[in-house]
Chains A and B, each alone.
Chain A
Amino acid sequence: MNRQWIDRVAPPIYAVIDFAVIMAPSIAIKQAADKGGMGDTPGTDLVIGSLLIAFVHAVIAGRRLQSEERVALRRLDLWISALNAIVVLALLATLLLVVILRGFADEHSSLANRNYPVLALWMGVQVLAVACAELTGRFVFWWLEPERHLRKSHRRSQSRSFNRRPE
């Protein structure tokens, strides 16, 4: 496997994993509803909501990886940051939902009583999980490559001093 080939293949694979991680909780609920004899419709709203978020985030995550590939000083750094991002995404996209749904069952039921859409809660939590994963990925990458920022700031200061040079 040469490096170019990995550069081309890795981001889409990462995007697919990212997509699957976001979709997993809604698929679990949909399958349970189907097997339980609930008919076709129940759970579809959650699947569609997750699908929307998963699609958008898979594109964003894939592009993040591509852009990091271009600027990374060490290729390993981008894979470490990507791994951390996907772990945070996996945990929050499902665990946070379970904690919120189970821990605040009363509150959700009373909101449901008032026609508050569950889908909004579901999507809100998954968007929060996605935001945390993106922040984690970017932060870890930034933290792993301090030299890059030093070089960047050095270049900036050089260009500033060049601009200030009297004619």
Chain B
Amino acid sequence: MLNRRQLLAAGLGATGAVASGAALANHVWPLLAREDLIPGDATSIDLPHRAWTTTSDQVSFVALGDNGSGGRQAIAVAERIARTYTIQPFGLVALLGDICYYGRIEDRFEDVFERPLRPLIDAGVNFELAIGNHDTAIRRTDEGLDEIAAELRLLGTPGLYYKTTHGPVGLYYLDSSVPGLSGSESPEQLQWLDDELARSTNEWKIVVLHHPPFSSGKHGSTAAAQERLVPILTHRRVDLVLSGHDHHYERTHPIDGVTYVVSGGGCKRTPVGRSAFTAVSHSVLQFLLIDVRGERLTATCIQPDGGVVDQFELRARAGE
């Protein structure tokens, strides 16, 4: 028979063992494996200034998603991007959203952006941003709007959605948050996209947004994007759609001619499965190097140790 003290201590111990065992196994250890919480040490690499070549039919750029931790993994990916620049220089990094985790961008800009990407910034590489849900909330609040405003200002981004042209490529950056893509602001943005794509003379049309229309990952496909955006992309013969949000790499088979890529492994990893639309999927830290030469686009998914996860080629649809 237990005495009162034994009963109390044994009860606390047993409850604690069950609760902590469940919490650790189900939440905390997976969280440690999934997040990028260990602060990193950025190495300094001197890159040649503006060494890339962009002409009317040639351009190289990188797509990097969900890289906002400032931790070891983010720095390892950024370092690999810098090393890739030494082999194949590029003048642009398209950021696929979520450039700041674990705090506000104004407090963490140096940690999550300037320090990891310093070699590229010093080399004169441009950065263009599609805003993500950690840069705001999926449903924007006043605080979220402040965060977006700070990011747009810090990165010199012209607006929530905008178009840029680099050589033969037109890049259409969208705001895929709830008011932007499926709320009150959606018709305006989608009308803008439709008009811009209709009048585009670019050989290549690439749409960049944070939430993936098609994904087999943790968050999965974005229903609003499939419902409202995909018909426009199909109708206007977009070549490639780049997104993040899910922390993995996934490429679809062409869906009505459009290839969709999730490239959200900029600092964290979450599991990914396969769907009927999946051509390749890997839960891996990565970025995408895209090289466009005339009618041919070659994209290479690279992980921090330099290994190639996937490589694919597309032919421009404008000429079809």
Q: Per-residue 0/1 for B261-298: is the Cβ within 8 Å of any A Cβ (1 yes, 0 no)?
A: 00001000100000000000001111000000000000
By secondary structure, the A interface counts as helix
**B31: interface (CB < 8 Å):** yes
Given the known interface contacts A109-B70, A144-B5, the answer about A98 and B16 at a Cβ–Cβ threshold of 8 Å is: no
17 CB < 8 A contacts A-B: A28-B29, A28-B33, A32-B33, A33-B73, A36-B73, A36-B265, A37-B284, A39-B304, A42-B73, A83-B17, A88-B16, A94-B32, A95-B23, A97-B32, A98-B37, A101-B38, A118-B41
Give the Cβ gap from A69 to chain B, nearest Cβ, in Å: 17
Q: Per-residue 0/1 for A12-34: is the Cβ within 8 Å of any B Cβ (1 yes, 0 no)?
A: 00000000000011001101110
Which of A57-65, A74-82, A157-165 has 4 or more CB atoms under 8 Å from chain B? A74-82
Are B34 and A32 in contact (CB-based, < 8 A)? yes
Measured CB to CB, the nearest residue on chain A to B284 is: A37
Measured CB to CB, the nearest residue on chain B to A89 is: B20
**B111: interface (CB < 8 Å):** yes
Q: Per-residue 0/1 for B56-77: is the Cβ within 8 Å of any A Cβ (1 yes, 0 no)?
A: 0000000000000110110010
Are A98 and B32 in contact (CB-based, < 8 A)? yes
Give the Cβ gap from A46 to chain B, nearest Cβ, in Å: 7
Are B304 and A102 in contact (CB-based, < 8 A)? no
**A38: interface (CB < 8 Å):** yes
Q: Per-residue 0/1 for B289-320: is the Cβ within 8 Å of any A Cβ (1 yes, 0 no)?
A: 00000000000000111010100000000000
Measured CB to CB, the nearest residue on chain A to B28 is: A94
Measured CB to CB, the nearest residue on chain B to A85 is: B13
Are B29 and A140 in contact (CB-based, < 8 A)? no
**A47: interface (CB < 8 Å):** no
> Interface size of B by Cβ–Cβ distance < 8 Å?
51
Give the Cβ gap from A23 to chain B, nearest Cβ, in Å: 11
Given the known interface contacts A36-B269, A91-B16, the answer about A109 and B111 at a Cβ–Cβ threshold of 8 Å is: yes
Are B24 and A140 in contact (CB-based, < 8 A)? no
A35 and B146 CA atoms in complex are apart in Å by 36
A94 and B110 CA atoms in complex are apart in Å by 28
Q: Which residues of A contact B156 (CB under 8 A)?
A: none
Q: Per-residue 0/1 for B1-33: is the Cβ within 8 Å of any A Cβ (1 yes, 0 no)?
A: 010011001101110110011011000111111
A105 and B70 CA atoms in complex are apart in Å by 9
- Which 9 pairs from chain A and chain B are nearest by CB? A37-B303, A109-B111, A83-B13, A87-B16, A112-B39, A105-B102, A36-B285, A39-B305, A32-B33
Cβ contact of A35, chosen from B16, B76, B103, B269, cutoff 8 A: B269
**A84: interface (CB < 8 Å):** yes
A83 and B39 CA atoms in complex are apart in Å by 33
Q: Which residues of A contact B34 (CB under 8 A)?
A: 32
Cβ contact of A38, chosen from B16, B28, B101, B285, cutoff 8 A: B285
A33 and B14 CA atoms in complex are apart in Å by 33
Q: Which residues of B contact A35 (CB under 8 A)?
A: 269, 283-284
**B203: interface (CB < 8 Å):** no
Q: Which residues of A contact B70 (CB under 8 A)?
A: 105, 109
Are B33 and A91 in contact (CB-based, < 8 A)? no
**B196: interface (CB < 8 Å):** no
Are B32 and A36 in contact (CB-based, < 8 A)? no
Measured CB to CB, the nearest residue on chain A to B35 is: A102
**A129: interface (CB < 8 Å):** no
Give the Cβ gap from B245 to chain A, nearest Cβ, in Å: 17
**B83: interface (CB < 8 Å):** no
Are B21 and A144 in contact (CB-based, < 8 A)? no
Are A32 and B269 in contact (CB-based, < 8 A)? yes
Cβ contact of A80, chosen from B9, B76, B102, B110, cutoff 8 A: B9
Q: Which residues of A contact B12 (CB under 8 A)?
A: 84
Measured CB to CB, the nearest residue on chain A to B21 is: A90
Measured CB to CB, the nearest residue on chain A to B101 is: A105
